[in-house]
Chain A
Amino acid sequence: AQKITQTQPGMFVQEKEAVTLDCTYDTSDPSYGLFWYKQPSSGEMIFLIYQGSYDQQNATEGRYSLNFQKARKSANLVISASQLGDSAMYFCAMREGLMDSSYKLIFGSGTRLLVRP
């Protein structure tokens, strides 16, 4: 079974509008972390936002916010006021386990976002 599911292979959004990128996850561990990374066409992986499973509030980082719905096991990324530079691939990732020695990340298949002028 997929641990991280991103059901939108591609998305369009108009510049200055908000967009939501979906991510659902599957884990039986009570402690886990959820991450979003941005990968522009140049290829690097840029950390955007983190949500811990015990965090009471949804994470926000500037124009990025994470809509964390624990019961539904979803961690959707919301980008407000889209900019042309937001056009990129976006990956959702999860670290599961009770702070084990590895901290490895499991990635989803990604969503390609294209911002239209």
Chain B
Amino acid sequence: EPEVTQTPSHQVTQMGQEVILRCVPISNHLYFYWYRQILGQKVEFLVSFYNNEISEKSEIFDDQFSVERPDGSNFTLKIRSTKLEDSAMYFCASSEPGTSGMRGETQYFGPGTRLLVL
């Protein structure tokens, strides 16, 4: 069964460093997302991406964050200058285009990248 993959599974970085989190969405999906989950808290939406552009972003997704689809398979989240409060699990998700019902709507999540900023 197709699945979303993410690399690395864990990343430790120093405050102020840049990190790039990578995702390979399910191949026929056209909507891509990043979410984050601070330890012990709820999952929070960061950004959605469709047709090579951001379709929506949350207030968390400030100028330190950027997303890119550099080729036909990868989808990346870059944090330019990490802060301690960026420590979290980052999930990539993808869904099919606007087909109605479960098949079009369901977002399938990757296994996550656990980011620790020291």
A residues contacting B by CB (< 8 A) are 33, 35, 37, 42-47, 50, 52, 59, 91, 93, 95, 99, 101-110
Contact = CB atoms under 8 A, between A and B. Distances in A.
Contacts of B98: 99
Interface of B: 31, 33, 35, 41-45, 48, 50, 55-56, 58, 89, 91, 93, 95, 98, 100-102, 105-112, 114
A60 to B, nearest CB: 12
A103 B105 contact: yes
Contact of B102 (A44, A52, A105, A106): A52
B112 A44 contact: yes
Contacts of B111: 42-44
B109 A103 contact: no
B33 A43 contact: no
B106 A47 contact: yes
B56 A102 contact: yes
Contact of A109 (B42, B91, B106): B42
